[in-house]
Structure 1
């Protein structure tokens, strides 16, 4: 579809795949996060994808989405706004009328045939509104704040054979399960099947971009290896939030509110800039 070439998420990730780098896609929970993320992108001359969980729609009645979209429009670097792990069909249709560039149509809590059927229908609905889409073949194990619906379900690794079925639904971005999990990895750390990721990349044939989920506590070398293996979109949550949350816990009782917020933005920006360096997007805007 010709319109996709004008879609911000599509443009950003197409350039990333061609350039061999990853684009950081952090979860925004508040205005401070959005400000810090954009400041990092401009300081590093890096593209950025601001993500939100469906919680942001219900919590703020869409106001946070509009704030992120305005920040993206005003920025001096390419920034897209993405809805992550949208699992409710009615909410996806509501989100499609908000200023999102892309939506993750996550039907992974259904069995495969139903996952594919619902994904195909919702992709068509989003495409009619010029919104690009992401989906999850298999099922990434675990749960985070905002995606707890799948926390109690068994993880299912993505197979190369499933890729063809999902590409056929019309999606633009694929989020495979290859040992990555939502939430914590524990003392063992992430144990990823890089050969599976390579088989998935080959199976896509360049038709879709690959999104990496479940990066909590990823060491730099693991992140870089995933990007070298074909990942273009790098979801981060804890990696850029931890120091911000520690700052709030440590200083909330002693700092004035305005200073607390301003210093919090600096923590988000600092961690974001680090991840942009790790993912190789610095200087790529």
Structure 2
């Protein structure tokens, strides 16, 4: 059976968000500095947070998952640890057995539809045996991010009502729909989302799973708020937050390493706090 919303930390966080109409940042971290800034922001703003790692990070920095887990457990506000876009079946099996994640995105969207469902169902059962919540992607969201298979050569598919029911049938806990969102940067015209489709998906699932929004690069505060109002509980962010960190590093390479770390953390913390206010999660803990 899927982990209950009363025992799994990711689902606890998102259940509260859904009940009270706000969104929770699910923020990618690539290093300890990012983790520090994100957790400090959550504690400063009394906001829940989902801390996310990419599968590539587990290979590049194997110990980072344990630093992230310790930060989540030691925080004074609810923070869960999530593995985003896990696409390697063998890695997923290893993670389930050996690593302290609260939730995993089992991303088989680079396979054709039937195989995607079959593999997702098998891996979901494995995760649930360990109390790990599962997110999956219905339809197909085009583009690619760091360490993620680029689906640009595959046809983008908007999530259909039939697909929603099929993914609910494999007992996932979080659904990442395709509504015109893409992984990576948007064209100059910016994001163009199908809000009628998103609202319809929310009505169809009727609380059975939580909605996760991917592809938030170039989102405005207003667009983010509209997505939350239409049913999004989990707001995945990568470049949206970390661009300020990258910009700071480029502009301040002349500083000492200690100054770069201290000031960089402060810059990222402030930007994270700003987005927590935008998402409505500030002051909820």
TM-score (norm 2): 0.97
Give, in angstroms, the shift of residue 2 of structure 1: 8.0
Partner of 1:74: 74
Deviations 1:81-115 (A, max 9, x none): 00000011001111112010000000111111111
CA distance in 1 between partners of 2:195 and 2:205 (Å): 15
CA distance in 2 between partners of 1:45 and 1:104 (Å): 26
Give, in angstroms, the shift of residue 151 of structure 1: 3.7
SS, match of residue 24 in structure 1: strand
Partner of 1:31: 32
SS, match of residue 126 in structure 1: helix
**Contact 2:66 2:100 survives alignment (8 Å):** yes
**Contact 1:26 1:237 survives alignment (8 Å):** yes
Q: CA RMSD in A?
A: 1.1
CA distance in 1 between partners of 2:83 and 2:15 (Å): 18
CA distance in 1 between partners of 2:244 and 2:167 (Å): 37
CA distance in 1 between partners of 2:220 and 2:260 (Å): 29
CA distance in 2 between partners of 1:186 and 1:119 (Å): 31
Give, in angstroms, the shift of residue 153 of structure 1: 2.3
Deviations 1:169-225 (A, max 9, x none): 111000000000111112201000000101111111210000000000101111000
Partner of 2:147: 146
SS, match of residue 36 in structure 1: helix
Partner of 1:239: 240
Tell me if 1:192 matches 2:193.
yes
Deviations 1:254-282 (A, max 9, x none): 11101101111111101111110111100
CA distance in 1 between partners of 2:33 and 2:153 (Å): 32
Give, in angstroms, the shift of residue 3 of structure 1: 4.8
CA distance in 1 between partners of 2:42 and 2:56 (Å): 24
Tell me if 1:19 matches 2:47.
no
CA distance in 1 between partners of 2:145 and 2:155 (Å): 15
Provide structure 2 residue ranges, at least 5 long, that are not aligned to the other structure.
none
TM-score (norm 1): 0.97
151-160 or 265-274, which moves further after superposition? 151-160
Deviations 1:214-256 (A, max 9, x none): 000101111000000000000001111111101111111x111
**Contact 1:239 1:271 survives alignment (8 Å):** no
CA distance in 1 between partners of 2:206 and 2:90 (Å): 32
Give, in angstroms, the shift of residue 37 of structure 1: 0.2
